[in-house]
Structure 1
């Protein structure tokens, strides 16, 4: 396939999968439940954090998270007391448990009280064509208060060669200006041109079959390789191809 043929093929798949129907089977539906900016970004962050494993279970547990927060995540984060946190202790999604959940709530409160919110933290340390340094710096801020050591594993660090799939997906939700209504695009301080594809088993395998990726591991180096190829296909909105790679892998078994 030539570059122009590949671009045409992938653009067609983006058109096919970047539709409102996509929301029904994806955890992006959770932030769509809310209208307040802070509710959207907190709901999205927590849902993206547990977005690994069975998709139906991810969505079920993300809904459970919102229920435990009284379906008002920002209000809960800002005004909870220690007694309120006790009801979170029963939560579990794979290795993310109630201790992690309460630790996340405390860190989120710190970010909104001391750092002007999630968008403000992520928008710092941007590079010309990457958000990976910003993600690494975000992790430092997130864990600068007292926390459970075990909880650190639930936020990846690209500076340690992680592909940081879940946070890159979260940034796609928050920053990508999507005229189809899937990605929410509520953060205007980060250009979609700097976003990276959420690289996982499905998108990685499809990317290799299409010649977009040669590296065998789905790590930070692979993400940089994929980024360079996708930015050539669309410099302004490279992460739109996540819909194509994901759709081809999950829905078509490509």
Structure 2
């Protein structure tokens, strides 16, 4: 990228500007409530799964869930009883996921722990760290999770047709950008830096793919990191490829900072006054703006 000498320092400054206020406005904050990695791992699966929709709704949903998990999400999961859980979460709703879907998720995590000892070990069973990225590993992880026996929740091994539980585990093979799964992997596999947790050590950060939400899709389009229109797996790989040129070992280190330009800083791309004071104004070109006037 022949503009990397100009882009890199601005993204580094953006990375350095992350704050506790940004973290408090992010589902990742729920993982930071716990000190033990075994609790953080379980919290990360749950918090990332429901990280879709408006941030206020996401945080409200997670408050409801974590209020029931108590001081140790890991211990809650190890003892989780679907029959009791269906009663506890009978009125739960997060957009189109209901209490059954939540209980299936909790039961699925329990089965992962029983089979492999940790979610990391369960995931790594399908991961090859010599591959270019985590595409194949995510395909394997998703298919394996969905093939577990959910009879205690649904009364049958697989989710019924009226359940949105499979939505919780998309796959690159279907073309999905897998935003929530990529975000989960960023949280646990990137080095601990005050934001991400650094509790998994079996996945090289260089293999991670950026979680493409509406903010990353828009802002990375402004930055020229993608020309694609659909937020799919190919877009996620394309954006990550550009970021890999800036930092081959840790390409998605800028994800949190870029996303929070939209989540916390209210970047919409159509407010010229806000663009003038934005920390990446010198490299960002929203539609309808004249980049030459800002550089």
State the TM-score, normalizing by the size of structure 1.
Answer: 0.93
> Which of 159, 165, 170 is matched with 2:179 structurally?
165
Task: Give the Cα separation in 2 of the matches to 1:147 and 1:102.
Answer: 13
Over the aligned positions, Cα root-mean-square deviation in angstroms equals 1.7
List per-residue Cα deviations over 1:168-216 (Å, max 9, x = no partner).
111111111133x111111111111111111011111111111111111
> Which of 208, 214, 227 is matched with 1:214 structurally?
227
Quickly say closer, same or farther: Cα 1:197–1:122, change in 2 above 3 A: same
Residues 27 and 51 in structure 2, CA contact (< 8 A), matched pair in contact too: yes
Q: What is aligned with 1:136?
A: 139
Q: Is the counterpart of residue 192 in structure 1 residue 205 in structure 2?
A: yes
Residues 31 and 44 in structure 2, CA contact (< 8 A), matched pair in contact too: yes
The count of corresponding residues between Structure 1 and Structure 2 is: 252
Task: Give the Cα separation in 2 of the matches to 1:133 and 1:246.
Answer: 25
Q: Is the counterpart of residue 8 in structure 1 residue 9 in structure 2?
A: yes
Q: Is the counterpart of residue 75 in structure 1 residue 75 in structure 2?
A: yes
Q: Is the counterpart of residue 147 in structure 1 residue 158 in structure 2?
A: yes
Quickly say closer, same or farther: Cα 1:6–1:188, change in 2 above 3 A: same
Quickly say closer, same or farther: Cα 1:89–1:71, change in 2 above 3 A: farther
The alpha carbon displacement at 1:45 in A equals 0.8
The alpha carbon displacement at 1:38 in A equals 2.2
Q: Which runs of 5+ in 2 are unaligned?
A: 150-156, 270-295
> Which of 229, 243, 268 is matched with 1:253 structurally?
268
Q: Is the counterpart of residue 39 in structure 1 residue 39 in structure 2?
A: yes
> Which of 214, 223, 229 is matched with 1:201 structurally?
214
Q: Which runs of 5+ in 1 are unaligned?
A: none
Residues 205 and 249 in structure 1, CA contact (< 8 A), matched pair in contact too: no
Higher Cα Rg: structure 1 or 2? Answer: 2
Q: What is aligned with 1:233?
A: 246
SS for the counterpart of 1:189 is: coil
Task: Give the Cα separation in 2 of the matches to 1:13 and 1:93.
Answer: 32
